[in-house]
Structure 1
């Protein structure tokens, strides 16, 4: 650290922290951005399979989970995807649009980190890495911050420390602990966008099918319906639609699988198969991997000759195919989670400035807040938008 006092200290050099620092720096503020990790933007680097799904063209409040669903509206409206896309284009970063408006870099997530590092330099932000925060105390109108690299003070403090997902990247609960230190409510954290594990007694069946993928529609007892690929793993289920529904699943509750989402009326489809004396396995192989057809028929004891089925049995088959209730017993934990649910309660923070109501000069942005986006670039857009809104008030 080159000096002892700053206008703003931002703790956490991830997506939200870097963008907030850049925008505050461009406003002429003297900014220190610090992080305990050896490199900034660690989660950006590994996101999107290394390609970084940096935003989505169609961002709406319904794509976010928050105890107060109205909280996200202001920040999202003031910093829309086009603003970040323009930034990416200005740095000549090639990108592509995939399903449902998702935008990915073509040449790797490191380009987004490099872009932000360049902007930090241009904005005159001081970046301090490998720097642990030991203590934070507010004295009158000044923040006193003890770190592993010395003591410093600042007029304002922004916490952008993220959540507990990806512990290998040195994720921590620092932000939530600091919030509690100052009497702020914190919603308990849990893994989000995470694979689901099946009970141990059932894992042998799933393990035998490990590696198979198929298109499904899935719902939890609360929350929306998600369609997409489901991947069977040694311990249970993964794939985009399972990660999505994991945000809404609660232990002890089932999820419901529609294994034929592309068949509009399964009852009519089955009746037509029966009337044409077609086999069940032959019909299912048009939609599923062969190994799954054999294992699923054996598991549910549905014989192959649909001509033998009564209407009652045909109805039971239809229910099994379109509303199969299964009971996961756990998630794969923070090590496999893309985000953390929960965090600092949005009731404690201004939706316009992100300053806390109880403590002046203290701000929380990004994943450390109780805001979690769906899969598809929404969590990055929340990071950019909350950082932008906060920076305007510093």
Structure 2
């Protein structure tokens, strides 16, 4: 491996490959390193193996950060449609599963192949199974001690991601390096992650494990609509993963199992039109029957026909179903979290090119920064946009 480079990018994930290819096309001599045995491992498992590679409706409001304005510049300059054009230019079949959410039709493999091909065409040297043991300032550049020997670079880009899914090689390398150079790192925690429950609610949901249904989930002022999946350990599903980014330990969630309409009004109407039918029978018209039976058992102890239900009974049931409050014990943690919430303080980073304001020629991109998207392709769009912003500048 050559020992002198214009640019070294550490981390061959989404943002790292995007940055390396962009810089390579600008004529830079680029080395892309990763300690894993192949690039893009997290891309391959994302979106259930089909990679939700962008969201056409992405806006800065879809991102959480201590500095909500930081992501605006990069997202504006490299849009979801820019990445979609790249995908279509490589002939990758894709589908829109939900409004704006684009997935590969079959598997995520073509996205990784596209990015590695772009790096190859741009003249990027990709080296996997190479770990970086130390980074020190070397004049205006940097000296890296690696498992393949020492090398020097004029510009250094850190694209190592966060702590999420350590089985794929995630580490805190980027955060440790940031602290080494005196940068503030906001506290990190798992996001886009299932919740665990204890005692009563764990027992209740375990009996319904595998059941999924649309709900509204509220955490503080945040409300997310989508499917919830009941599991043996707690709750998962798109709505839960999304709201996890707004949750802090000790906070309660409020679940509306009847998200379309006012249940009390519906029950009153049904009592007038179908008085001999049971509450469970009517709830089952919109809810899975097992869930309808469970809700009545949890909150009213037994089923009964609507004609025998008082207004007070129906109001009690409606309130319990539409304002069901539970307090998670915690989350599944880094093992299953899709992203890391928190990270390097973006007030210290240029929003134009992702450079450290106080340290020339040092850059941070992607998940390692304190920019976290909601569920639905937003985090990949941040990876592409921050990678391009950096690659165009170095």
TM-score of Structure 1 vs Structure 2, range by shorter chain: over 0.9
Q: Which residue of 1 aligns with 2:185?
A: 186
| Counterpart Cα distance in 1 of 2:162 and 2:199 | 28
| Counterpart Cα distance in 2 of 1:251 and 1:200 | 17
1:376 and 2:376 aligned:
yes
Alignment equivalent of 2:232, drawn from 228, 231, 234: 234
Question: Alignment partner of 1:156: what SS?
Answer: strand
* Residues 296, 317 of structure 2: 8 Å contact kept: no
| Counterpart Cα distance in 2 of 1:44 and 1:218 | 28
| Counterpart Cα distance in 2 of 1:147 and 1:45 | 26
Once the two structures are TM-superposed, the CA of residue 251 in structure 1 deviates from its matched residue by: 1.2
1:311 and 2:308 aligned:
no
1:205-354 matches, cutoff 5 A: 205-223=204-222, 225-262=223-260, 264-276=261-273, 277=275, 278-302=277-301, 303-354=303-354
1:130-149 matches, cutoff 5 A: 130-149=129-148
Once the two structures are TM-superposed, the CA of residue 22 in structure 1 deviates from its matched residue by: 0.1
Q: Note closer, same or farther for the CA distance 1:35–1:249 as it changes in structure 2 (3 Å cut).
A: same
Once the two structures are TM-superposed, the CA of residue 97 in structure 1 deviates from its matched residue by: 1.1
Q: Map Cα deviations across residues 346-367 of structure 1 (whole Å, 9 max, x no partner).
A: 1111111110112111111000
Once the two structures are TM-superposed, the CA of residue 308 in structure 1 deviates from its matched residue by: 3.3
| Counterpart Cα distance in 2 of 1:107 and 1:213 | 23
| Counterpart Cα distance in 1 of 2:106 and 2:123 | 27
Question: Alignment partner of 1:334: what SS?
Answer: helix
Q: Which runs of 5+ in 2 are unaligned?
A: none
| Counterpart Cα distance in 2 of 1:95 and 1:246 | 28
Q: Which runs of 5+ in 1 are unaligned?
A: none
Question: Alignment partner of 2:334: what SS?
Answer: coil
* Residues 273, 279 of structure 1: 8 Å contact kept: no
Q: Which residue of 1 aligns with 2:48?
A: 49
Q: Which residue of 2 aligns with 1:150?
A: 149
Once the two structures are TM-superposed, the CA of residue 205 in structure 1 deviates from its matched residue by: 1.9
* Residues 295, 321 of structure 2: 8 Å contact kept: no
* Residues 222, 249 of structure 1: 8 Å contact kept: no
Segment drifting more, 201-210 vs 107-116: 201-210
| Counterpart Cα distance in 1 of 2:50 and 2:70 | 29
Segment drifting more, 369-378 vs 302-311: 302-311
Aligned residue pair count: 391
1:19 and 2:2 aligned:
no
Say what the alpha-carbon RMSD is for the aligned residues: 1.2
